[in-house]
């Protein structure tokens, strides 16, 4: 088979784009302009970011920029399902990447801004190979942007009790995202984009950040549509102002700091701050997961919609909200055992579900007709109901449509594998040939599902309506008519949230087992 090489163009003065602060040089690969590691702001530690200082000459934008420092070293586990990149880290991480097939300011193409996952602690704009935006830009005719920003202690340690200087330390990471959106608003036309047609979309922690931006007045007018994949503020980490301040005081105290000497933290190395945190018993990602997230102050970040409601200023923002069949269904994949009869499968399921086994099997068959009941063991029990609640509350509060989805595709490996947390990302970015062809039942099946999912996202980004040639009519979600798009193969279907009762019982079982990912 002949190997197809990308045709790359890179000259000293081409392609060059004039931004407000100065000129940038990227490169062209197969007709797509790439601008990587583009600085969008600068920030002092724990402070909100500031605009860039102008520069002379042409700044190179051909390499990805630094990503934020992380709490723990990354592990290579999980790369079979989703390929990862491991990249140099620095506090100087306020940069973004752009893919576009046109540099004409008059083109006014829809802009899709990706916000990565990893809670508020980890991840990056390039962590997953599937985040690459060249195929989405090339075949979808949009401008794709992915963003790095401050995370964990650097982005969300609330030190505001230590003085006005640190007033916004608990939302610094969200301030970065607002600054990125402001840079996009001011400059994206030079990359062929329309600053008045921007969609923010993200997955898992990125999904929560999308929803949190909607509660930040400083972001108003900088985006016009929103997509939350596999998460929402109520499906992930949240923190009260009191708890955020208590954490800040505890970690500062572990470093020997008080109101008189707090500024010493600005000169400490990141590793020394982590050592201080370790004195409080916090050394791992999981130790911070439920504590380091945006600190609501009623000002920069108004607070969780469950507590304060949706801000009326964003009631006209259309949304897509959804999740995957498998998500965090971490029980054993019984389908890989090769169990042949329903009796064998029922006996195996009983080890997890005990007296509720028969009722769960009944609900599973009703929800996913034709699917192997062994897959019940890995069906999500922690995200779906919270996502559905978010969709229901959003639909009731908004004047714009809300579209709900479920990725119910079963991948044909290990006897059948439910769509896991992150499984939809290659389909969204049109990177299944790169990422999933080896596990998605062959290129034809993967590409058909990719056309449905990515086509819906693209149509939504362009018009606010996800409907198009590759899916049946997708009607908006409401409490009276909770229409849900089930993305599947061989066909996608729209039904009335048929998974709700199944998910309620699965979540009940998860709580009874004291699952840490379910609290």
- Candidates 516, 503, 515, 228; CA nearest to 379 is 503
Domain shared by 49 and 86, yes or no: yes
pLDDT at residue 128, rounded to an integer: 87
Are residues 308 and 431 located together in one domain of the fold?
Answer: no
Residue 395, classed as helix, strand or coil, is helix
Cis link prior to 490 (omega < 30° from 0)? yes
Report pLDDT for 518: 32
Q: Band of the pLDDT at 248, cuts 50, 70, 90?
A: very high
Each residue of 402-448: pLDDT tens digit? 999 999 999 888 888 899 999 999 999 999 876 665 565 556 778 88
Q: Which of 294, 267, 53 is nearest to 150 (CA)?
A: 294
Residue 254 included in any domain: no
Residue 216 has pLDDT above 90, yes or no: yes
* pLDDT (mean) for 88-111: 96
Which pLDDT band, with edges at 50, 70 and 90, does 507 fall under? confident
| Residue 514 burial (C-beta neighbours within 10 Å; 0-12, 13-18, 19+) | exposed
Residue 49 structural domain:
8-238+296-317
121 lies in some domain: yes
Q: What is the pLDDT of residue 87?
A: 81
Which is more confident, 281 or 272?
272
Residues 465, 497, single domain; the answer is: yes
Residue 211 inside a domain? The answer is yes
Residue 274 in domain: no
Do 245 and 157 touch, CB atoms closer than 8 A?
Answer: no
220: closest CA among 310, 153, 149, 296? 310
Task: Kindly state whether residues 75 and 24 are assigned to the same domain.
Answer: yes
d(CA 32, CA 419): 30
Looking at the predicted structure, is the pLDDT value of residue 281 above 80? Answer: no
The whole-angstrom separation of Cα 443 and Cα 438 is: 8
Structure tokens at 320: 């897509």
Spot the catalytic one: 160, 169, 204, 454.
204
The H-or-E segment that residue 509 falls in is helix 500-512
Looking at the domain assignment, is residue 278 inside a domain? no
**pLDDT for 192-206, tens place per residue?**
999 999 999 999 999
Domains in the chain, number: 2
Q: Are residues 306 and 326 in the same domain?
A: no
Please enumerate in sequence order all residues whose Cβ is within 8 A of that of 409, keeping only pairs 6 or more positions apart, or say none: 325, 419, 423, 449, 487, 488, 489
Structure tokens that stand for 471 in this block = 């899916």
Paired with 16 in beta bridges are 25
Per the domain annotation, does 402 fall within a domain? yes
Q: Examine the domain organization and report whether 350 and 209 are in the same domain.
A: no
Cβ distance 41 to 52 under 8 Å? yes
SS3 at position 297 = coil
Least confident of 18-32, 269-283, 468-482: 269-283
Give catalytic status of residue 204 as yes or no.
yes
Q: Spell out the SS3 assignment of 179-232.
A: HHHHHHHHHHHHHCEEEEEEEEEEECHHHHHHHHHCCCHHHCCCCCEEEEECCC
Domain final residue pick, 317, 348, 371: 317
Cα dist from 269 to 48, 59, 159, 337, whole Å: 19, 29, 17, 49
Residue 431 in domain: yes
Is residue 308 domain-shared with residue 354, that is, in the same domain?
A: no
Residue with tokens 């979540």: 507
286-291 long-range contacts, Cβ below 8 Å, gap at least 24?
286/516, 288/71, 288/121, 288/152, 288/153, 289/119, 289/121, 289/237, 290/237, 290/238, 290/239, 291/237, 291/239, 291/243, 291/244, 291/247
| Helices and strands in the chain: count of H runs, count of E runs | 15, 17
CB atoms within 10 A of CB 276: 21
Q: Residues 83, 212: one domain?
A: yes
pLDDT at position 412 is 83
User: In Å, what is the CA distance from 200 to each residue of 177, 221, 224, 453, 502?
Assistant: 10, 12, 8, 16, 31
Q: Which two tokens stand for residue 175?
A: 């301030």
pLDDT band at 515; cut points 50, 70, 90: very low
Question: In 3-state terms, what secondary structure has residue 2?
Answer: coil
Residue in 184, 476, 431, 469 with CA at minimum distance from that of residue 321: 476
Residues 210 and 183 in one domain: yes
pLDDT tens-digit readout, 14-57: 999 999 999 999 999 999 999 999 999 999 999 999 999 999 99
Residue 163 maps to a domain: yes
Give the whole-angstrom CA distance, residue 480 versus residue 477: 8
Rounded Cα–Cα distance for residues 402 and 318 (Å): 6
> pLDDT, tens digit, for every residue of 341-383?
899 999 999 989 999 999 999 999 999 999 999 999 999 988 8
Which range of 124-128, 408-412, 455-459 scores highest in mean pLDDT? It is 455-459
For the chain, give the mean pLDDT.
90
Q: Final residue of a domain: which of 317, 351, 371? A: 317
pTM of the model: 0.93
Of all residues in the chain, what percent are helix, strand and coil, respectively (each to 5)?
Answer: 35, 20, 45
Do 309 and 352 share a domain, yes or no? no
233 and 104 part of one domain:
yes
**Residue 116 in contact with residue 131, Cβ under 8 Å?**
yes
Q: What is the dihedral of CA 372, 376, 379, 382, to 10 degrees?
A: 170
CATH number of the domain encompassing residue 90: 3.40.50.1820
Strand partners, 24: 17, 59
pLDDT digits (tens, 9 = 90+) for 291-347: 788 999 889 999 888 888 899 999 999 999 999 999 987 688 887 787 888 999 999
Q: Are residues 306 and 385 in the same domain?
A: no
Give the span between the Cα atoms of 490 and 493, in whole angstroms.
10
Q: Which of 317, 351, 384 is the last residue of a domain?
A: 317
């Amino acid at each position: 088979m002949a190997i197809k090489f990308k045709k790359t163009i890179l000259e000293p003065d081409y392609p060059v784009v004039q931004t407000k602060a100065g000129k940038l040089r990227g490169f062209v690969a197969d007709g797509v302009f790439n601008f990587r590691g583009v600085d969008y702001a600068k920030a002092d530690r724990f402070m909100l970011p500031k605009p860039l200082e102008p520069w002379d000459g042409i700044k190179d934008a051909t390499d990805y920029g630094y990503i934020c420092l992380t709490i723990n070293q990354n592990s290579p586990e999980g790369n079979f399902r989703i390929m990862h990149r491991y990249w140099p880290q620095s506090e100087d991480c306020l940069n973004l990447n752009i893919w576009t097939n046109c540099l004409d300011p008059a083109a006014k193409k829809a802009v899709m801004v990706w916000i990565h996952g990893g809670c508020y602690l980890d991840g990056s704009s390039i962590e997953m190979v599937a985040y690459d935006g060249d195929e989405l830009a090339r075949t979808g005719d949009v401008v794709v942007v992915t963003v790095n920003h401050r995370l964990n202690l650097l982005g969300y340690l609330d030190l505001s009790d230590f003085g006005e200087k640190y007033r916004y330390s608990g939302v610094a990471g969200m301030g970065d995202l607002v600054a990125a959106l402001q840079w996009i608003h001011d400059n994206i036309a030079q990359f062929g984009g329309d600053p008045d047609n921007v969609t923010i979309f993200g997955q898992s922690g990125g999904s929560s950040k999308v929803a949190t931006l909607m509660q930040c007045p400083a972001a108003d007018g900088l985006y016009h549509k929103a997509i939350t994949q596999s998460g929402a503020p109520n499906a992930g980490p949240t923190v009260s102002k009191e708890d955020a301040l208590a954490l800040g005081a505890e970690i500062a105290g572990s470093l020997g700091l008080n109101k008189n000497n707090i500024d010493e933290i600005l000169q400490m190395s990141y590793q020394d701050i982590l050592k201080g945190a370790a004195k409080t018993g916090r050394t791992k990602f999981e130790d911070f997961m439920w504590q380091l997230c945006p600190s609501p102050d009623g000002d920069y970040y108004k607070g969780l919609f469950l507590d304060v409601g949706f801000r009326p200023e964003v009631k006209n923002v259309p949304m897509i909200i959804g999740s995957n069949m498998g998500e965090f269904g971490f029980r054993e994949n019984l389908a890989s055992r090769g169990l042949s009869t329903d009796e064998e499968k029922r006996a195996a399921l009983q080890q997890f579900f005990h007296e509720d086994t028969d009722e769960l099997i009944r609900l599973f068959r009703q929800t996913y007709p034709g699917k192997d009941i062994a897959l019940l063991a890995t069906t999500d029990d922690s995200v779906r109901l919270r996502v559905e609640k978010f969709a229901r509350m959003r639909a009731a509060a908004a004047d714009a449509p809300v579209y709900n989805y479920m990725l119910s595709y079963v991948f044909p490996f290990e006897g059948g594998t439910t769509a896991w947390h992150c499984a939809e990302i290659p389909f969204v970015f049109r990177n299944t040939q790169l990422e999933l062809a080896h596990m998605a039942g062959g290129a034809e099946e993967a590409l058909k599902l990719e056309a449905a999912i990515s086509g819906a996202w693209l149509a939504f980004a362009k018009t606010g309506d996800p409907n198009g040639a590759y899916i049946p009519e997708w009607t908006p979600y409401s409490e009276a008519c909770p229409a849900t798009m089930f993305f599947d193969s061989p066909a996608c279907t729209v039904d009335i949230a048929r998974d709700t009762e199944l998910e309620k019982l699965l979540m009940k079982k998860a709580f009874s087992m004291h699952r840490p990912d379910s609290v």
